[in-house]
Amino acid sequence: MLVCGFSLSVVIALLLLILKPNPEYPLSMADVAKGMTFSLGDPLERSAVLFAVISLLGALGTTANEMFMYPYWILEKGYAQNLGSADDEGWVDRAKGWIKVLQVDAGVATLLATVITAAYFLVGCAILHKRGEGPHRNEGRRTTLADLHRDLRRVVVQRLHVRWLLYPVLDHRRCRGGLGTMWTDLLSSMGTFQYDNDTARRRYNRIFQNLYRAAFLGITLYSTLFGAAPEKLVIMGQFINGLVNTPLLMIGILYLAFKTDKRLRMSTFTSVALIVTAIAILSCIVMGFFGGGGHYFSTSPAGNGC
């Protein structure tokens, strides 16, 4: 509900800019069209742009971590639980029916993520960028974002945004559980222990959860003791997420797509589109890491987001 309310406010803000244009914050289609061109911007800022590309791949929409956790959610909800054996009559039809359910599920999530992300970006460009402001002001990211909404006569956001900041705390609690399960499954698939062994599974799960808890605590202490900018740590985390998890997802998806039962494989057109998409994403990551984006933190001033 927290994310839903915040996302809805951003979409409403964009609609206000479109339906009731404000000369002070113009939002022209020419600017939007320019932003859709294949360009990395000013060569002097190329490393920051490449860094941002990888960070956005790991952070926006349905993030890399959430895509890893999605199969667990499907299993917990009982998707295709009564599908039966692949040799049964009608199995292909039932499997294709469940695949359509997943396509709708993933399609709606992608649509929502795209609309909300685009709305947030356009509102930020129309207001903050036009004013030459960003999340590096002394007042902090919360005040800057609240200013954005207040300029759209949404003064209530200043108070509500503090409550919305609780979401990352809750999200990290969920994240520890999900990541612990994934690492435990990985060790099981490598033959470290039998997955049916409940005692071993719980032990490894708790070990990984505590490791992540210690890592989060260490990052917090480092930020507190050495004055690391919180927004910089967030962006760095998303950069690592996009650099590591996204390629793993692309490789895993491609592998499974062409290893599944031939009766259920995607069409030739969809297969080509999948391969092209994977190449485009992996190319951005390679360009970002080897093209200077990986050195962004060592060359940029503290607190200077991208």
Q: What is the pLDDT of residues 140-153, one digit of tens each?
A: 444 444 455 455 44
Query: Does residue 120 belong to any structural domain of this protein?
Result: yes
Query: Does residue 17 belong to any structural domain of this protein?
Result: yes
Query: Does residue 305 belong to any structural domain of this protein?
Result: no
Query: Does residue 133 belong to any structural domain of this protein?
Result: yes
Average pLDDT for the chain: 74
Question: Is 49 a residue whose pLDDT tops 50?
Answer: yes
CA–CA dist 18, 27 (Å, integer): 7
Structural domains in the chain (count): 1
* pLDDT reported for residue 159: 40
Question: Is 169 a residue whose pLDDT tops 50?
Answer: no
96-152 pLDDT tens trace? 999 999 889 888 888 888 888 888 788 877 777 666 655 444 444 444 444 554 554
* pLDDT reported for residue 137: 44
Asked if 63 and 241 touch (Cβ cutoff 8 Å), the reply is: yes
The identity of residue 221, as a single letter, is L
Structural domain for 62, as ranges: 2-299
Share of the chain above pLDDT 90, in %: 6
As to burial, measured by CB atoms within 10 angstroms (0-12 exposed, 13-18 middle, 19+ buried), residue 58 is: buried
Mean pLDDT, range 154-174, rounded to an integer? 44
Question: Is 163 a residue whose pLDDT tops 80?
Answer: no
Treating both helix axes as pointing N-terminal to C-terminal, what angle do 230-240 and 46-59 enclose, rounded to 10 degrees?
70
Residues 6+ apart with CB under 8 A from 68: 178, 182, 245, 249
Question: Is 254 a residue whose pLDDT tops 80?
Answer: yes
CA angle in degrees (0–180, nearest 5) for 185-77-190 = 10
Question: Is 294 a residue whose pLDDT tops 70?
Answer: no
CA–CA dist 58, 52 (Å, integer): 10
Query: Does residue 306 belong to any structural domain of this protein?
Result: no
Query: Does residue 295 belong to any structural domain of this protein?
Result: yes
Confidence of residue 215 (pLDDT cuts 50, 70, 90): confident
* pLDDT reported for residue 19: 77
Query: Does residue 304 belong to any structural domain of this protein?
Result: no
User: Looking at per-residue confidence, does 283 or 276 come out higher?
Assistant: 276
Mean pLDDT, range 58-70, rounded to an integer? 70
Asked if 101 and 91 touch (Cβ cutoff 8 Å), the reply is: no
Confidence of residue 203 (pLDDT cuts 50, 70, 90): very high
Mean pLDDT, range 19-33, rounded to an integer? 75
Query: Does residue 222 belong to any structural domain of this protein?
Result: yes
